[in-house]
Amino acid sequence: MGRAPCCDKANVKKGPWSPEEDARLKAYIEQHGTGGNWIALPQKIGLKRCGKSCRLRWLNYLRPNLKHGAFSEEEENIICSLYIAIGSRWSIIAAQLPGRTDNDIKNYWNTRLKKKLFGRQPKERSTGRITNGLKEEATKRDHKESSMVNGAGNGTINYNQYWPQLPDFATPSALHEIPNIPQHGSQSDLLTCVGARFSEDHLRSVFSTLDNFQNPIHIPPSPSLKFDMLTEPLSNGLGSFQSVNSMGCDTSQLSNPHFISTTQEAVPNAWNELQYFANDVGEDEAVYSNQQSSDVLLEVFCGNCSSQASSTPESSYSWNDMSSLVDPSTVSKYEPCRPEIQKDCSEPFRELMYFGPQ
DNA sequence: AAGATAAACAACCGCATATAG
DNA sequence: CCTATATGCGGTTGTTTATCT
């Protein structure tokens, strides 16, 4: 016997909401609230809608103070940063963007940000490994998209425009020189350790937001994502980065309610992302025009081993750099990272880096 | 101008979790 | 503690709009 349906499907209207339905729902909730029972609400106001549908309509469209329209660059940065850190946990990400809904952010990510972030070209329109005749067309297309997004195009392709710029001196010591960013056990370390690398401006914008979180950033581990989902080489290669504190506190305080566990989510997420692209475009054509995306993947997957492949080796953390930030008892389960495994896990991604813009 | 295709957005569905009885 | 039910979440699908050929 299956689960009882939440409503009588036969007598429930589906599809787009009419202005009348919107008005009725809005007026009722503004006057009476939801009454704590969405299932009963549509009957109370005479709407032939499922309670879940009413709830969704209210949350995503009707409730006050919702922002509609284009996302700002700062919002994009926050979404990217948090997605890298915690994966597709849209409700958590949305909680940090006032006026935005999880559905909004999810759609925005899936339709735009993901493509921008990974610099991916659709297979049938461009292979990404741009050659000769295709190059001009791709240039035109990218120029156009760039213009649409930024409002002005300068005729050149900036493949990294959607990814926060690398700092000129992306070393741990340089990061620590950035004013107003918490130092030891800091958020910059957090984001760096999960593979994010950011410009100083970007770090400031993200951290100012993080520091002003409306809610304490308590992100419980996702039960569906565990290290054992990964292949052994990956899990071993990543074991160094386990858990860090998000608020710049002493990470030994593991009972701190602000504790954040990121890497478990970040790694499978990025891994799935890569698999998705590889499957979609064909492995031999899996091309990242954005080298920093490859860097991020390398760093996410392989931690310090990426330094062997990165063009900016000093930007990667070694385990020693990070050791003060993690829970020793957890980390001990994954150390040491075997050198041969580091090499194995880095190879496929290192290759990807060679196919950037020609 | 019309059809084809892609992009963007809205809504639905099913599962997981929370909670009341 | 157990069960039933409501709620929340994330993935997916459907529809509309924009762009291209």
Q: Are residues A60 and A89 in the same domain?
A: no
Highest mean pLDDT among A39-48, A182-191, A212-221, A297-306: A39-48
Residue A234 lies in a domain: no
Per-residue CB contacts under 7 A with strand B, chain A residues 181-240 = 223
- Residue A277 CB partners (closer than 8 Å, separation 6+): A118, A120, A286
Q: Say how far A49 CA is from C4 C1', in Å.
A: 23
The reply to whether A304 falls in a domain is: no
Percent of chain A at pLDDT > 90 equals 0
Decide: CB of A36 under 7 A of nucleic strand C.
yes
Is any atom of nucleic acid chain B found less than 7 Å from the CB of residue A20?
A: no
Strand B reaches within 7 A of the A104 CB: yes
A83 or A130: which leads in pLDDT: A83
> Are both A42 and A80 inside the same structural domain?
no
Average pLDDT over residues A275-294: 39
Within-domain flag for A275: no
> Does A106 lie in the same domain as A76?
yes
The answer to whether A336 CB sits below 7 Å from nucleic acid chain B is: no
- Which of A37, A64, A91 marks a domain boundary? A64
Domain with A40 in it: 7-64
pLDDT of residue A8: 67
CB of A192 closer than 8 Å to CB of A230: no
Closest CA to A291 of A105, A204, A161: A161
Residues A18 and A59 in one domain: yes
> Integer distance in angstroms from CA A74 to C1' B7?
23
In-domain check, residue A86: yes
Residues 6+ apart with CB under 8 A from A61: A17, A22
Q: Do A146 and A162 form a contact (C-beta atoms < 8 A)?
A: no
Chain B nucleotides near the protein (CB, 7 A): 6-17
The answer to whether some atom of strand B lies closer than 7 Å to the beta carbon of A120 is no
Query: In this structure, is residue A186 part of a structural domain?
Result: no
Using the structure, give the distance in angstroms from the CA atom of A50 to the C1' atom of C6, rounded to a whole number: 13
Q: Token pair of A283, please?
A: 């492995």
pLDDT tens per residue, range A64-82: 888 877 888 888 888 888 8
Among candidate residues A217, A206, A258, A265, the one with its CA nearest the CA of residue A241 = A265
Predicted pLDDT at A181: 30
Q: What is the pLDDT of residues A136-163, one digit of tens each?
A: 333 333 333 333 333 223 322 233 333 3
Q: What is the pLDDT of residue A68?
A: 78
Rama region for A53: left / alpha / beta (φ>0; ψ in -120 to 50; rest):
alpha
Candidate ranges A103-107, A135-139, A220-224, A236-240; pick with highest mean pLDDT: A103-107
What's the whole-number average pLDDT of chain A? 49
Q: Domain boundary residue among A53, A88, A118? A: A118
Lookup: nucleotide whose C1' is closest to A89 CA: C10
**Pair (A59, A17) in one structural domain:** yes
Q: Is residue A55 domain-shared with residue A73, that is, in the same domain? A: no
Domain of residue A114, CATH code: 1.10.10.60
For chain A, the domain total comes to 2
| Same domain assignment for residues A106 and A81 | yes
How many angstroms separate the CA of A225 from the C1' of B13?
22
Structural domain includes residue A325: no
Contacting residues 249-288/A vs strand C (CB within 7 A):
none
Of A residues 73-112, those with CB within 7 angstroms of nucleic strand C are 88-92, 102-103, 106-107, 110
Within this chain, do residues A60 and A95 fall inside the same structural domain, yes or no?
no
Task: Convert the pLDDT of each residue in A291-345 to its tens digit.
Answer: 334 444 433 333 333 333 333 222 222 222 322 322 333 323 323 222 322 333 3
Percent of chain A with pLDDT strictly greater than 70: 30
Q: Could you tell me the distance in Å between the CA of residue A354 and the C1' of nucleotide B10?
A: 40
**Distance measured from the CA of protein residue A103 to the C1' of nucleotide C13, in angstroms:** 14
Mean pLDDT of A194-211: 41
Listed residues A64, A86, A110: the one ending a domain? A64
Pair (A49, A77) in one structural domain = no
Q: Where are the alpha helices (DSSP H) in chain A?
A: 19-32, 41-44, 51-57, 73-86, 90-95, 102-108, 114-118, 132-150, 172-176, 187-193, 200-211, 232-238, 263-281, 291-302, 319-322, 328-331, 339-352
Closest CA to A342 of A314, A319, A315: A319
Residue A96 lies in a domain: yes
Q: CA-to-C1' distance for A125 and C19, Å?
A: 14
A19 CB below 7 A from strand C atoms = no
Residue A107 has pLDDT above 50, yes or no: yes
The pLDDT assigned to A207 comes to 41
Highest mean pLDDT: which range of A104-108, A169-173, A268-272: A104-108
Residue A40 within a domain: yes
pLDDT at A59: 87
Distance CA A91, CA A100 (A): 10
Single out the residue of A82, A288, A312 nearest to residue A175, CA to CA: A312
The pLDDT tens digits of the residues spanning A21-48 come to 888 888 888 888 877 788 888 888 888 8
pLDDT for residue A97 is more than 80: yes
Q: How confident is the model at residue A170 (pLDDT cuts 50, 70, 90)?
A: very low
Is A12 in the same domain as A58?
yes
Tell me, what's the pLDDT at A4? 53
Q: Tell me which of A215 and A234 has the higher pLDDT.
A: A215
